[in-house]
Amino acid sequence: MRSKRLLSLLAATTGAAVLTVVGLGLGPGGQQALAHKEPHIPEELKAFEDVFTEQVILGDLLFHGDTEAQQELGVSLSDTGMACAMCHPDGSDVHPHEFPKYQQQMQEFATLRDMINWCIEKPNQGTKIDSDSPAMKALEAYIYWSNSGSMLDPGRH
């Protein structure tokens, strides 16, 4: 059951899920789709939300060290048994609302994705992931979702 569900989530990460909502106004990958030309219908809004929620769930699994999700996406976020959530339960202390900012440990102006990769590589001793990869987008989705009540405060150390 779990693998079937995971495949569904992974389909969303690769764009296959777009096919299921193409009739609701989304175009297939690589093709310019029209947007906002007609009033949104509830089914369409629900489809948009489902795409996001599935990314949040996948990101949650990666954030909590789920082995199967990492294997399916071909990433290794930790080599120490540490998961992101072990220092950041419920996405706390990630402060996505403060990025981009100067990050002291990197000594450079950094985005949230830069910081995610720093944590993967340093504390977790895992392997950095492509900044635009499905795994990165899913992690970003979960982190923003878990902090969705926070107030934007970019640049604060």
Partner 1 sequence: MNELEKTRREMARVLCAPGRHPDRSFSVSRRTFLQRSLATGALGGAAAYGWLPLINVLDIRVAAAAEAFRFAWISDSHLYPREVNERFVEKTVLAVEDVKAMDPPADFLIYGGDLAQLGAPDELRLGSEILKELDIRQVLIPGEHDWYLDLGKLWMELFGEPNSTFDHKGVRFVALDTISRCPDYWSATNMSPEERMGHMATLDGTVAGAWAGIGNDQLKWLQDLLADWPKDQPVVLFSHNPLYEYYPPWNFWVRDWRPLHEILAPFQNVTNLHGHTHQPLYNEVGSMRSIGMLATAWPWPYAPEGVPALTQPMVRVDPGDHFDGVGWDEITFTADARVENRYVMWPRKPEEVLATASDDSGTGDNRNQKLRRRIADRMWPY
Q: Contact positions toward partner 1, by CB under 8 A?
A: 1-2, 5, 56-57, 60-61, 64, 80-82, 85-93, 95, 97-98, 105, 119, 122-123, 145-153, 156-157
Q: Which residue in 119, 58, 49, 36 sits closest to 83, CA to CA? A: 119
Tell me how far, at minimum, the Cβ of 20 lies from partner 1, in Å: 19
CB–CB of 116/140 below 8 Å? yes
Q: Which residue in 60, 57, 38 sits closest to 49, CA to CA? A: 57
CB–CB of 59/134 below 8 Å? no
Q: Which residue in 64, 77, 87, 60 sits closest to 130, CA to CA? A: 77
In the numeric block, which tokens belong to residue 17?
Answer: 């899920």
Tell me how far, at minimum, the Cβ of 101 lies from partner 1, in Å: 13
Tell me how far, at minimum, the Cβ of 27 lies from partner 1, in Å: 29
If the CB atoms of residues 26 and 95 are measured against partner 1, the closer one turns out to be 95
If the CB atoms of residues 16 and 86 are measured against partner 1, the closer one turns out to be 86
Cβ-in-10-Å burial (0-12, 13-18, 19+) of 137 comes to: middle
List, in sequence order, every residue forming a beta bridge with 143; answer none if it has no partner.
none
Tell me how far, at minimum, the Cβ of 115 lies from partner 1, in Å: 10
Tell me how far, at minimum, the Cβ of 24 lies from partner 1, in Å: 23
If the CB atoms of residues 103 and 111 are measured against partner 1, the closer one turns out to be 103
If the CB atoms of residues 26 and 138 are measured against partner 1, the closer one turns out to be 138
If the CB atoms of residues 64 and 128 are measured against partner 1, the closer one turns out to be 64
